[in-house]
Chain A
Amino acid sequence: DSGVTQTPKHLITATGQRVTLRCSPRSGDLSVYWYQQSLDQGLQFLIQYYNGEERAKGNILERFSAQQFPDLHSELNLSSLELGDSALYFCASSVDTGGHSGNTIYFGEGSWLTVV
């Protein structure tokens, strides 16, 4: 158990709909990362938040957005869903205090999204 909690574990929804994936980082971790893993794309970095602020953005579509709340949990919002958005979405967290190198990133077990 990595200590990173993701909900829901599985989600089936229709095209055009909107879903929210939730992540609780490990206790004390300030950074949250979101990754997408589809069959043909491997693990793709989407976005990182650090202590409530966006720190890095990767291959995240404009239909997707994320935020990190004061209690440090994070949500990934996916809207106008398309069939191609079907994937595993992973959340990860790290201490990432800045100025300290080598902070390990721990992953949750993922949220399976199926768009039909």
Chain B
Amino acid sequence: DAKTTQPPSMDCAEGRAANLPCNHSTISGNEYVYWYRQIHSQGPQYIIHGLKNNETNEMASLIITEDRKSSTLILPHATLRDTAVYYCIVRLAGGSTGGSEKLVFGKGMKLTVNP
């Protein structure tokens, strides 16, 4: 079962920042927060991930609260091509046990960027 909660949908105006929230109140210390998106039946696309520090890359920023129970994905200047289903995923780190680090997807959140 997915361990995250996201709103089912969100709208954003083109050119504005899109702030996508995610709750993961039961996250444990060795679990990462990952964000993926899926544009209309294409393969899920990796966006960003983090453990406890805020992260930024060329696509987005990830803000993780100090207690790690929630996070926000920020798309700084949303474009029409950012319209997609966004998945926030808590992923177990396999670590030295060699356990599976599979991704468990929930329903995600549909972001619609409007012109």
Contact = CB atoms under 8 A, between A and B. Distances in A.
B43 A103 contact: no
Interface residues of B, number: 27
A16 to B, nearest CB: 26
Nearest to A102: B32
Per DSSP, are chain B's interface residues mostly helix, strand or loop, or mixed?
A: loop
A106 interface: yes
Contacts of B100: 48, 55-56
Nearest to A47: B102
Contacts of A101: 30, 32, 51, 93-95, 101
A96 interface: yes
- Residue from A31, A42, A43 with most neighbouring chain B CB atoms (10 Å): A43
Interface of B: 30, 32, 38, 41-46, 49, 51, 87, 93-96, 98-108
